[in-house]
Structure 1
Amino acid sequence: MLRPTLKAIHHVAIICSDYPRSKRFYTELLGLVVIAENYRHERDSWKLDLALPNGNQLELFSFPNPPPRPSKPEAQGLRHLAFLVEDVAEFVAYLTNEGVTVEPIRIDEFTGKDFTFFQDPDGLPLEIYQC
């Protein structure tokens, strides 16, 4: 039997500590488009589906009192979520103007592309990477 192939990443799911703050960060600051927003009464939880320009999705969840997760760069688990951008320096200037702390821009030693890291409101590591 032939091995079926994966086509793409459909979505990445994030649990946030402050739903309105994280919703604003991902929609207003990063510009992701809302596909659907649903409140799940039985779980006292919001689920926000956000569209990335390439068709992938980001799911943002809220739960009452979620435990914090260590997100050190080298901890086990998801290391970071990377977004492609046309111009890393331009995006850094935008984020900085919006009060987001951004690491210095680095060059990928293998591709020669610019990239850098910043954090979402819960400290989750995000990367912007030059197309």
Structure 2
Amino acid sequence: MLLSSIHHVAIICSNYEKSKQFYVDILGLEVIHEEYRKERDSYKLDLRIGDHSQLELFSFPNPPKRPSYPEACGLRHLAFRVDDIQQVCQKLTEHGIEVESIRVDPITNKRYTFFQDPDGLPLELYEE
């Protein structure tokens, strides 16, 4: 096999501070490194997800909006594995984040649901 795992996923946000607060304070991702790149007028924030994955959060001046939800070509959504989907949904709801009803995957019989980040990026919770 050529590929062994996903190292990171990169997201460009429209409001860096709002997205940083969402991913760090609400979702609880750990900050690895944060840097302001003056030549690009851009922040780059590396966040840890579990033991082996990372999320890179970027800010750029005037990024284009996502074409549609969620059926635009390219990344459809980002899914996070969770141990207790009900607990995570409750925490998100307490922070005013709208979460769809929990569904059951007909193939795996695992529970999952969707919510959005501050820019409307579709995010999934998938219970293991």
TM (norm. structure 1) is 0.95
Is 2:79 the counterpart of 1:75?
A: no
Distance in 2 of aligned mates of 1:74 and 1:43: 30
Structure 1: runs of 5+ lacking an equivalent: none
Alpha-carbon displacement from aligned partner over 1:2-60 (angstroms, at most 9, x marks no partner): xx510110100000000000000000000000000001000000000000113200000
Structure 2: runs of 5+ lacking an equivalent: none
CA contact (8 A) 1:44 1:63 kept: yes
Is 2:53 the counterpart of 1:56?
A: yes
Is 2:23 the counterpart of 1:12?
A: no
Please name the residue that 2:19 is paired with.
22
Is 2:86 the counterpart of 1:89?
A: yes
* Structure 1 position 72, deviation (Å): 1.3
Stretches (4+) displaced over 3 A: none
3-state SS in 1 of match to 2:35? strand
TM (norm. structure 2) is 0.97
Number of residues paired by the alignment?
128
RMSD: 0.9
Distance in 1 of aligned mates of 2:49 and 2:81: 10
Identity %: 62
Please name the residue that 2:114 is paired with.
117
3-state SS in 1 of match to 2:80? strand
More displaced, 22-31 or 73-82? Answer: 73-82
Which structure is larger by alpha-carbon Rg, 1 or 2?
1
* Structure 1 position 73, deviation (Å): 2.1
